[in-house]
A and B are shown apart, each in its own frame.
Chain A
Amino acid sequence: MSNNLIVERERGLVELERRIAELRAASAGQPLDMSSEIGALETKYQQILRELFGKLSPWEKVHMARHPDRPTSLDYISKFDRFDELHGDRHFRDDPSLVGGFALLKGRKVMVLGQQRGRDTRENLRRNFGMMSPEGYRKATRLARLAARFHLPIVTFVDTKGADPGISSEEHAQSEAIAVSLMTFATAAVPIVTTVIGEGGSGGALAIAIADRIIILEHSTYSVASPEGCAAILWSDAGKAEEAASRLKLTASDLQRFGIVDEVLAEPLGGAHRNAGDVVMRTLDAIDAALQTLSSKTPEQLLEYRYAKYRRLGEWQAEGLETAQTAP
């Protein structure tokens, strides 16, 4: 049993996939023509895929964003031309839930940062499920400052449930680490392009996601709190997470409507992991295109543009909702 809805749903497909593969193997080099059987099975397979994944609810998208096979930051970074990883916060330790360093992306020198979760339990323990500690945010701050010093654009990948909520993180001032990271990204006078590749969890995600252009994959989510956290906060019942997921407006299309993300990248039917190679390539193309556009701007223009972009987020009305403001 997996606690991931999408993984559970995929189990029904595994048997069909096996039969198609067997038939293909059996028909290879055989005089018997089985192409019509194979074709029928594949049609059925595509039909089931559409039924299972054609229209995902917000809650299903939350599970898709957390799918264990979904491409992680290193799957993207490994397709850069080159990656020279840098480590550590220079104070306490290296946080493996954030990978970062110099890189070449389509010939362009950049600083890349990505929140890194694990594929299996062992790696997840090492990477802390992609939940960064203060040391991770201090590494992010250090590398972003380094990038600004040498005029390198910053590319970040967001994939985290949120910042680590542990004793040691509080002792090491998680709040301060995130607050300073936010400041650094708000003021770094180089182009910043962020891609939300999985789950974007609250301030822990935002700390490396103040950017000039924000790209999000179709089934990624980005939320003020995890649906479980929101349900616990508002209704003291984490079991109401599905309801919270639909209320929070955390899907890519919602975020685009609010002007919080700039670009949504389509995923193959059934999610990014069904054709990871293609998704990674298209994502890198989109990042490169964004960097190309931003490269024509002066540092002053970049900062002005970034300030204005965030300044207008948050609609408000100039009059009360009802007549609350009349004096007694």
Chain B
Amino acid sequence: MPRPDWLPSRRAKDKAPADAVMWSKCPKCGEVLYRRDLAANLFVCTKCDHHFRMHAQDRIDSLVDGDFEELGQDVLPGDPLNWSDKRSYPAKLQTDREKSGISESVVCGFATINGHRVGLAVMDFHFRGGTMGEVTGERITMLFEEARTRRVPVVLFAASGGARMEEGMLALMQLAKTTAAVARFMNDGNCFLVVLTDPTSGGVSASFAFQADIIVAEPKAMIGFAGRRVIEQTIRQRLPDQFQTAEFLLEKGAIDMVVARHQLKQTLTHLLEYCAA
């Protein structure tokens, strides 16, 4: 399947001669990085190794061998609650589409990683904070159902603030829907790998992100159920910086490994060799 229509638009925007697009400042060490160098380094700061949040398409480009056969790209969000606060929900969606170049918080499809055929789901924090709406759930469910039919493993990159407020309970119900699809897929003997990226929290963290056979995380990624602010307000004290980082979860036994982005493709390849049929 050819690249979707929305892709060239973001690509074109990347090339726009605006300073903000040409240069990126590392949020960790403050180093100003030339965007092309940053992209060539898989969006890892060349000075301090900070892992930037990646756009879905950049992530896909960094992993797959050739073509990406996208699934569910014509499934687009509606406005089930007729939500409006400072702006209407459809207007917020429109802004995020333009900003991120994608049409929902997840991009799903089929591809090959070092020769392994996989279903690939990549969540993107740049769209509504990676929150799970109806269409996020629908696309992920479609992917697991199709991967089950094709009998290929699923690799999912999580990045999410949780369920999306503007879709209310219909968003929460996507946790149940995706869980049912993941369970069917796994119970048939298929392999499910997750990579937790910065940040993964709330309902997404408490559903498919922690239902996988193997859970990998990127260095320093913030991962947790409750948000840091909520916990600090509840206990009325400041949390240590390490709290809810990938390294913290590794120490507590909640995840399998922390893998730097440059080693990620190799690690996933190894895992697929062990687990894929």
Distance of A186 Cα from B176 Cα, bound (Å): 7
A299 within 8 A of B: no
B177 within 8 A of A: yes
Q: Which of A166, A179, A235, A260 contacts B169 (CB 8 A)?
A: A260
Q: Is the CB of B207 within 8 A of A225?
A: no
Residues of chain B from 131 to 160 with CB closer than 8 A to chain A in the complex: 134-135, 137-138, 141
Q: Is the CB of B209 within 8 A of A175?
A: yes
Distance of A187 Cα from B182 Cα, bound (Å): 11
B83 within 8 A of A: yes
Interface 9-mer from B2-10, B22-30, B57-65, B268-276: B2-10
Distance of A60 Cα from B74 Cα, bound (Å): 40
Q: Is the CB of B9 within 8 A of A327?
A: yes
What is the CB-to-nearest-CB distance from B168 to chain A, in angstroms, rounded to a whole number?
A: 5
B208 within 8 A of A: yes
Q: Is the CB of B78 within 8 A of A203?
A: no
Distance of A310 Cα from B90 Cα, bound (Å): 25
A 304-325 to B, binary, CB cutoff 8 A, 1 in contact else 0: 0011001101111111111011
Across the interface, which residues of A come within 8 angstroms of B48, CB to CB? none
Q: Which of B169, B174, B179, B202 contacts A210 (CB 8 A)?
A: B179
Q: Is the CB of A260 within 8 A of B239?
A: no
Chain B residue nearest to A176 (CB atoms) is B210
Interface 9-mer from A2-10, A141-149, A226-234, A273-281: A226-234
Residues of chain B from 176 to 198 with CB closer than 8 A to chain A in the complex: 176-177, 179-184, 187
Query: Size class of A's contact patch?
Result: 35 or more
What is the CB-to-nearest-CB distance from B71 to chain A, in angstroms, rounded to a whole number?
A: 14
Q: Is the CB of B169 within 8 A of A171?
A: no
Q: Is the CB of A165 within 8 A of B165?
A: no
Contacts across chains A and B counted by CB atoms under 8 Å: 213
Distance of A144 Cα from B187 Cα, bound (Å): 17
Interface 9-mer from A48-56, A78-86, A244-252: A244-252
Across the interface, which residues of B come within 8 angstroms of A328, CB to CB? 8-9, 12
Q: Is the CB of B179 within 8 A of A183?
A: yes
A314-B137, A318-B74 are contacts. A206–B165 as well, Cβ < 8 Å?
Answer: no
Contacts A173-B249, A179-B210, A260-B169 aside, 16 further interface pairs with beta carbons under 8 A come to A167-B231, A170-B244, A174-B226, A182-B176, A183-B183, A186-B179, A186-B180, A210-B179, A223-B168, A224-B171, A225-B163, A234-B85, A307-B180, A314-B137, A316-B76, A327-B9
A residues lining the B interface (CB < 8 Å): 163, 165-167, 169-176, 178-180, 182-183, 186-187, 202-203, 206-207, 210, 222-225, 229-230, 232-235, 243-244, 247-250, 254-255, 258, 260, 306-307, 310-311, 313-322, 324-328
Interchain Cβ contacts under 8 Å between A and B, 5 examples: A166-B235, A170-B231, A186-B180, A224-B171, A224-B203
B residues lining the A interface (CB < 8 Å): 5-6, 8-9, 12, 74-81, 83, 85, 90, 93-94, 97-98, 103, 134-135, 137-138, 141, 161, 163-165, 167-177, 179-184, 187, 202-203, 205-211, 223-227, 229-231, 234-235, 239, 243-244, 249, 252-254
